[in-house]
Amino acid sequence: MQWVLQWALQFARRSPKTFPMNTPTNPLIAAAFAPPVMEARRWLDGVRPAPGRPLINVSQAAPTAPPPQALREAIAEIALEDAAAHLYGPVLGLPELRAEIAERWSAAYGGTIAAEQVAITSGCNQAFCAAMTTLAGPGDEVILPTPWYFNHKMHLDMAGVRAVALPAGDGMLPDPARAEALVGERTRAIVLVSPNNPAGVEYPADLVAAFADLAGRHGLALVLDETYRDFDSRDGAPHALFANPDWAETVIQLYSFSKAFRLTGHRVGAIVAAEKRLRQVEKYLDTVSICPNQIAQRAALFGLRNLGRWLAGERAEILARRTAVQAAFAPLEARGWRLRGLGAYFAYLEHPFAASSAALAPLLPQRAGVLMLPGTMFRPADDPRGEREFRIAFANTDSAGIAALFRRLEKLPPDLAPLPQGA
Ligand SMILES: Cc1ncc(COP(=O)(O)O)c(C=O)c1O
């Protein structure tokens, strides 16, 4: 026994030399910004909520409630009864789920999508990374409307792909003509998120069509992230891209089961794209996850088959909250606030203060009992617009909470600025 202790001691003494701490870091990873939601969580460290004023956290666009009871029971049964749910499965996903998506999407979008044109991924973020990895490499360019979804930008940075910012114009909508002026030799794709994170806006069908046309003319991919599709206020298909029999030459659609069925922690999403692109996607997915979570895929399939009415209720609730935001925001107008975009889970605001939103956001938990993200997290560092903006992710806050949130913002003093040290 004694010799074991001696050996362990010697090893411990030697190990700093044997395993130096200064191992290399890929400069592309080092240069990428840190996960914004994690950064925002740190602003809560040491914050003591004022009596009777619990924190209103509108920082993250993720359901905090668990999936509905029926889905949790289905997950339990899958875990207990379905032996295959514990094994590796096909890289591109469960064939039944791919077929179900193909059938439902074909009906919903009025087009023809084959099961072979659907891949299942470990969430929509992975869907984006996989699609992008097949499209662009170091030195290539991808056009990203701003304000952007920060994880898109992070992935492109780490892959050495230049994100070319396309600032949204009137109504927070990107302009295809401005996008066309940005297309160059190295452009590989244009990314749209509709309904949009962070601005909430729903892109009109003809705008989406104009982007598809632009992408098609230049031989680019149009990557359309429809994570919030189920909360679109419009009835019927939000665009007609899939009605074009040649859609697969241009369109890559991304989807998430995180929001629809509250499966955030289970990690399941999808890519709808040309079969030949999915053969490239398969190589990427094989190396990063081998297959999507097997229980999660079966849960998503259960959701698609059984939770349509429940999801319709969720959508109605989100739309009611959106109306509550509109009503509760009105008095802030007189205080110099502006509502730039509203929809899906989001309100995108312009604030009236002299200080940057990046300086204000960390103060708000203590000063107002509110946690929300500054616009600087959704824009390039050299775009001053972000300093004037905040994103509110209101999906987890009921109408009473939304009213309380805007009352708190309304009461903020006009000279709101960083507190002196030690205050
Ligand atoms: C636009 C957009 N895409 C993708 C995701 C990530 O989705 P998933 O949980 O399926 O990875 C989010 C989550 O906030 C999002 O807002």
Pocket test for ligand 1, best of 151, 293, 396 (most atoms within 8 A of CB): 151
Residues 175 and 248 in one domain: yes
199 CA → ligand 1 middle, Å: 14
Is 182 part of a structural domain of the chain?
yes
Per-residue pLDDT of the chain (423 residues; tens, 9 = 90+): 455 556 555 555 555 555 566 899 999 999 999 899 899 999 999 898 888 899 999 999 888 899 999 999 999 999 999 999 999 999 999 999 999 999 999 999 999 999 999 999 999 999 999 999 999 999 999 999 999 999 999 999 999 999 999 999 989 999 999 999 999 999 999 999 999 999 999 999 999 999 999 999 999 999 999 999 999 999 999 999 999 999 999 999 999 999 999 999 999 999 999 999 999 999 999 999 999 999 999 999 999 999 999 999 999 999 999 999 999 999 999 999 999 999 999 999 999 999 999 999 999 999 999 999 999 999 999 999 999 999 999 998 999 999 999 999 999 988 876 555 554
Nearest CA to ligand 1 atom 15: 227
Count of domains in the chain?
2
Tell me: the pLDDT tens digits for 372-389? 999 999 999 999 999 999
pLDDT, residue 250, reads: 98
Residue 92 lies in a domain: yes
State whether 124 and 268 are in the same domain.
yes
pLDDT above 70 covers a percentage of the chain that reads 93
CA 8 to ligand 1 centroid distance, Å: 46
**Same domain assignment for residues 280 and 372:** no
Is the separation of the CB atoms in 164 and 157 below 8 Å? no
Which pLDDT does position 127 carry in this prediction?
98
Q: Which residues contact 10 (CB under 8 A, 6 or more apart)?
A: none
CATH number for the domain spanning 154: value is 3.40.640.10
CA of 415 to the centre of ligand 1 (A): 35
The per-residue pLDDT for 423 is: 46
Atom of ligand 1 nearest to the CA of 61: 14
Give the pLDDT confidence score for residue 419 in this predicted structure: 55
Separation of CA 333 and ligand 1 centre (Å): 30
Atom of ligand 1 at shortest range from CA of 152? 3
From the list 38, 57, 68, the residue with the least C-alpha distance to 397 is 57
* Within a domain: 40: yes
pLDDT tens-digit map of 266-295 = 999 999 999 999 999 999 999 999 999 999
- The CA-CA-CA angle for residues 10, 11, 16, to 5°, reads 110
Is 418 within a domain?
no
CA dist., res. 50 & res. 46, Å (int): 12
Atom of ligand 1 nearest to the CA of 60: 14
* 49 and 78 fall within a common domain: no
- Using the atom order of ligand 1, give the atom closest to the CA of residue 269: 10
How far, in Å, from the CA of 65 to the mean position of ligand 1?
17
Q: Do 120 and 82 share a structural domain?
A: yes
**Residue 64: its pLDDT value, please?**
85
Q: Are 340 and 322 contained in the same domain? A: yes
Number of residues written out for the chain: 423
Selection from 395, 88, 62 nearest residue 257 by Cα: 62
Are residues 117 and 145 located together in one domain of the fold?
yes
Q: Is residue 22 part of a domain?
A: no
pLDDT for position 416: 79
**What is the span of the domain harbouring residue 344?**
27-66+310-410
In this structure, are 394 and 254 located in the same domain?
A: no
Residues 35 and 115 in one domain: no
Ligand 1: which residue has its CA nearest to atom 2?
227
Nearest CA owner, ligand 1 atom 7 = 124
Kindly give the number of the ligand 1 atom that is closest to the alpha carbon of 196. Answer: 1
Separation of first and last alpha carbons in the chain: 56
At residue 2, the pLDDT reads 54
Report CA(150)–ligand 1 centroid distance (Å). 10
Q: What type of residue sits at position 399?
A: S
216 in the same domain as 93:
yes
Burial 236-260 (b: 16+ CB within 10 A, else e): ebbbbbbebeebbebbbbbbbbbbb
CA of 404 to the centre of ligand 1 (A): 27
**Is residue 12 domain-resident?**
no
Residues 260 and 331 in one domain: no
Q: Hey, how many other C-beta atoms are within 10 angstroms of the C-beta on 154?
A: 20
Q: Do 278 and 136 share a structural domain?
A: yes
Residue at which a domain ends, from 307, 328, 355? 307
SS (H, E, C) the chain: CHHHHHHHHHHHHHHHHHCCCCCCCCHHHHHCCCCHHHHHHHCCCCCCCCCCCCCEECCCCCCCCCCCHHHHHHHHHHHHHCHHHHCCCCCCCCHHHHHHHHHHHHHHHCCCCCHHHEEEECCHHHHHHHHHHHHCCCCCEEEEEECCCHHHHHHHHHCCCEEEEEECCHHHCCCHHHHHHHCCCCEEEEEEECCCCCCCCCCCHHHHHHHHHHHHHHCCEEEEECCCHHHCCCCCCCCCHHHCCCHHHCEEEEEEHHHHCCCHHHCCEEEECCHHHHHHHHHHHHHHCCCCCHHHHHHHHHHHHHCHHHHHHHHHHHHHHHHHHHHHHHHHHCCCCEEEEEECCEEEEECCCCCCHHHHCCCHHHHHCEECEEHHHHCCCCCHHHHHEEEEECCCCCHHHHHHHHHHHHCCCCCCCCCCCCC
Whether residue 327 is contained in a domain is answered as yes
Q: Please report whether residue 296 resides in a domain.
A: yes
CA of 267 to the centre of ligand 1 (A): 10
CB-CB contact of 365 with 217 (8 Å):
no
CATH of the domain at 53: 3.90.1150.10
Query: Residues lining ligand 1, judged by CB closer than 6 Å?
Result: 61, 123-125, 149, 193, 197, 225, 227, 256, 258, 264, 269
Of 272, 307, 342, the domain-final residue = 307
Phi-psi region of 50 (alpha: psi -120 to 50; beta: other; left: phi over 0): beta
| Residue after which a domain boundary falls, among 307, 330, 350 | 307
